[in-house]
Structure 1
């Protein structure tokens, strides 16, 4: 029996004989106390626990340390006390104070949302148009506060006029952005966009651009305007731009697909310029998905393709609205090529050479959309003929479309293809290639090199354009991308092949010269220009190092090799160009630092 575990009985004199002394109160082990049985108090293990082992070890409350049961009892007491604190916070003093590791982040977010953006009355909204005077605050706009209550979006809220600045500031921001819009991937017809953006209609009205597009343009206007008062509010503008870009496709705006695509392209360039590379790649990927998903790569295709289904509504397919005018269709064509150029630039600039790939030319993706024209040509009713395998024909040498002085968009598109193709090809070069791989590489090398030289011969000289002509900025980019393609292609052989070395030097000199125009008068350029100048500077740095070890490097077969002083002069000009554009450009400022470090190391 359970009660017999602490004693034994026998027959001596006819009565029971107790074999142990009576147990003193409080000397039982914890198990026996819990089970309410008699305990003999033997240590380290009592008799009942020895005869009937239990899951819990035999232990005493007066042992040398805290028993397991005692520790559990104390833990129960602590938890009960903590529960009391949580249920009655006003009546108790917390025993544990928690630290929020994200407190600084939350405070930054709170400041960016509230109080509403405030512009001091004595501060004009914008600085001069030149990007090279960031501290100036002069403006042609009237002074005074021209701002409505303006805060970040809350979930499930409809766009309202309170999310916009005043009409005067809207006009100022739009007019700061549009003169340089093409450098950041703007593909819409500027006069139409400006007129619609300035309509006195509510934010989100179908006759105005989408909230996402307007918000991103306002962000760029603040960024380029360089007003100290507005620059302090730039994070708030960025929050609203990202929020609307992520949600506008859920709305009913008639241009939500095209304008969301435009907003994504502009945001990608903004993040690229400000050194936020992960966000830049994210927006680029989103733009690629949206353009392919909307079928923009099949516009005016000679092949028969079913229309793209955007979704279903009550079991009825939803399609993208058919373009009503040549301008409508032209904007969609240019939208695809803007995404295409962005992808080529971002990939080469931000990915390691071996990772440069052609996501838009992957197997199964055939680009049939015609080459781009200027939006002014579309507005006049001009459209390119239907086409097929546009990029593949160009890379195969079968493209016969000539360049002319009015094909600025076409020029930069083809230059970006050559720039990307050179990087992609040389990124897969290895001195340990097998014979078959080397033959394929050599054939690709000769094809791309021939395409670059042919394309360069068709480009109009930069010097034929005035510095004040907006087209000169795109032409500078086109020449620089073409020359950088040569450097990418020949750079891996320049250390051992004198012809490749000379190709690199000539291309680098062309990038730094910029056709002899004054960069002070040109204004903002595509953010990739810092990468191209840095590439050219490294060519000169490498050549200076070679000249200091003449026996180790090949000599130029033409005898036109620059002296060390001549190389240093080009290098100084390259550093000056980087310095000029680094004042308000995080990416270029970083690239300037890397070039200076490399220069100091030679």
Structure 2
């Protein structure tokens, strides 16, 4: 082809009409070159072929470039909406058409199946190997004794994973609705008097003030949605008005949904407040006998506490901060506390998680497995003992304060402050440690221990017995009840834990040793004898049911022994029965407000019927 023929086909020779302004193709516009507007391919694009097609903005359909531009604009608008939720209105509001149906399903009570098993006890050995005697009374029906000692998770002696009282909760979309201010305020004020015994470690006045601010749910000045719904849930649960029975189930679903997603948000206090919500939900499920759920939320709380390094606050050992995220290829840790109060909250947070872990472990695990993550080899707890936030002052935490091996030193005999120099939460934490440790030590006993294992067991048991007695002597006595004083509930819990620790340690040997039997009886009487009606103080930590049940079993065992040796113990049975009735009475007072206590009370009745 000649040059003349090529020139005849140039773009300028193909068009007779002049080019209208604004009809350039998208490629020429981008390159800012002159375009002849020829279709389907303009002259410059034909002379210099490109991977992209020649596109026009005024074509019959949207060009690919236009589609991409629209997509970028839409994504930028959505990003702005997510970054400023309080300043924008969601483009689409969803409605749950099955809300009322799900509420009815949630309020229905499922059938209950409680498994029964037969327990066969082997011969027990005394605390000291100097002598052996028969450890069980001759007339008690042990071969058919269907009691709390095995295969019932809510009693503290189960190796089974089956919960006696389980219910399945459907998970509909709960939305982000918030209750009326008056309802929220009422539930918060109902919860606050019992907050400490349910593991609430945040500064209560600060929390209440922020919870009632006139900002939307999820605002950074208010608590996280998960924590706010968890507190609201417990407040409604404690009040138990007939008009709010369906509301409790809906609040539970909302709390679970928000807690599962709060860490993905941008709330400035999302880590600590999510930890607080996990603790509250674990206690809620513990109280309502949802055993598996209680274990799940307890494990989540322990993981959060350890993951954030709360067990190494003020540690005298140089350790790198715990990494909780990778941001821009750099490790990210929990920011330093903004002030002394925030640091005190973090200290108390760890001990609240530790107490929850120990209560759930002792109550819901087999005695031989009473241990856990916080007792794993190599686990060292350096965080100082908890602080009473009700009387917190800015100088309570000295800048020079450092701590090392807090729990290990305590178990080695360094009791520290127990009386007036310690906060009520510190005394409760120490009592929980002794209670858990006693259950762990007693769970390691076997009649066929080898000589070396037996010597190690006896040394551990003697050490625990000494710690319990020293701690008991330093405890302040129970004062007159004051229903307006939240620390009263913690002090009652502390005394009950120490009495239960003594029973856990000596109960195995009560039939062989008079001293062990007397210790168990004295501790059991302390657990069920109170000068006033406990209901005046409101609600207690769910572990109290396990402690009262333990005391009732001491009386049942003694009644069984006395009935088969009446000639040796004239008149003793009447005294034991009176103490036993005290235990039944105190359990009955609280059985109507929690399924766990109801179940434990029913098993106590079964145990007594079996003797």
Q: What is the TM-score normalised by the length of structure 2? A: 0.71
Say if 2:99 and 2:172, in contact at 8 Å, map to a contact too: no
Rg larger in structure:
1
The answer as to 2:523 corresponding to 1:533 is no
Q: For residue 220 of structure 2, give the secondary structure of its aligned residue in structure 1.
A: coil
In the aligned structure 1, how far is the partner of 2:98 from the partner of 2:550? 37
CA change 1:391–1:199 in 2 (3 A) is same
Q: For residue 367 of structure 1, give the secondary structure of its aligned residue in structure 2.
A: coil
Corresponding position of 2:289: 275
CA change 1:534–1:107 in 2 (3 A) is farther
Q: How does 1:305-316 map to 2 (within 5 A)?
A: 305-316=319-330
* Cα deviation, residue 584, structure 1: 1.4
Q: What per-residue deviation string (whole Å, max 9, x for no partner) do you get for residues 442-482 of structure 1? A: 10001000000000111111135535432111111101110
Q: What per-residue deviation string (whole Å, max 9, x for no partner) do you get for residues 508-542 of structure 1? A: 0000114x232132211111111111100010011
| Residue number among 102, 109, 112 corresponding to 1:112 in the alignment | 102
**Alignment length (residue pairs):** 452
Corresponding position of 1:357: 371
In the aligned structure 2, how far is the partner of 1:552 from the partner of 1:424? 37
In the aligned structure 2, how far is the partner of 1:571 from the partner of 1:375? 38
Say if 1:297 and 1:368, in contact at 8 Å, map to a contact too: yes
Gaps of 5+ in 2: 1-95, 108-169
Higher RCO (Cα < 8 Å, 6 or more apart): 2
In the aligned structure 1, how far is the partner of 2:429 from the partner of 2:532? 22
| Residue number among 294, 302, 318 corresponding to 1:304 in the alignment | 318
In the aligned structure 2, how far is the partner of 1:457 from the partner of 1:182? 24
Corresponding position of 2:249: 235
More deviation, 167-176/313-322: 313-322
The answer as to 2:385 corresponding to 1:371 is yes
The answer as to 2:590 corresponding to 1:581 is yes
In the aligned structure 2, how far is the partner of 1:552 from the partner of 1:407? 49
Say if 2:418 and 2:471, in contact at 8 Å, map to a contact too: no
The answer as to 2:605 corresponding to 1:596 is yes
The answer as to 2:474 corresponding to 1:458 is yes
In the aligned structure 2, how far is the partner of 1:449 from the partner of 1:547? 26
The answer as to 2:424 corresponding to 1:408 is yes
The answer as to 2:222 corresponding to 1:213 is no
Q: What per-residue deviation string (whole Å, max 9, x for no partner) do you get for residues 387-421 of structure 1? A: 00000000011343343276100011000000000
* Cα deviation, residue 231, structure 1: 1.4
Q: What is the TM-score normalised by the length of structure 1? A: 0.72
CA change 1:113–1:228 in 2 (3 A) is closer
Say if 1:415 and 1:478, in contact at 8 Å, map to a contact too: yes
In the aligned structure 2, how far is the partner of 1:276 from the partner of 1:492? 29
In the aligned structure 1, how far is the partner of 2:349 from the partner of 2:457? 33
In the aligned structure 2, how far is the partner of 1:172 from the partner of 1:593? 33
Which runs of 4 or more aligned residues in structure 1 lie more than 4 Å from their structure 2 counterparts after TM superposition? 106-110, 113-117, 151-155
In the aligned structure 2, how far is the partner of 1:329 from the partner of 1:207? 19
Say if 1:112 and 1:233, in contact at 8 Å, map to a contact too: no
CA change 1:168–1:330 in 2 (3 A) is same
In the aligned structure 1, how far is the partner of 2:267 from the partner of 2:484? 37
In the aligned structure 1, how far is the partner of 2:383 from the partner of 2:590? 35
Q: What per-residue deviation string (whole Å, max 9, x for no partner) do you get for residues 219-257 of structure 1? A: 111101111121122111101111111111111111111
Q: For residue 381 of structure 2, give the secondary structure of its aligned residue in structure 1.
A: coil
| Residue number among 532, 546, 554 corresponding to 1:517 in the alignment | 532
CA-atom RMSD, angstroms? Answer: 2.5
* Cα deviation, residue 321, structure 1: 1.5
Say if 2:315 and 2:402, in contact at 8 Å, map to a contact too: yes
CA change 1:310–1:498 in 2 (3 A) is same
Corresponding position of 2:137: none
Say if 1:153 and 1:240, in contact at 8 Å, map to a contact too: no
The answer as to 2:558 corresponding to 1:543 is yes
* Cα deviation, residue 492, structure 1: 0.6
In the aligned structure 2, how far is the partner of 1:182 from the partner of 1:409? 8
CA change 1:500–1:253 in 2 (3 A) is same
In the aligned structure 2, how far is the partner of 1:475 from the partner of 1:225? 23
Say if 1:419 and 1:481, in contact at 8 Å, map to a contact too: yes
In the aligned structure 2, how far is the partner of 1:304 from the partner of 1:510? 44
The answer as to 2:579 corresponding to 1:570 is yes
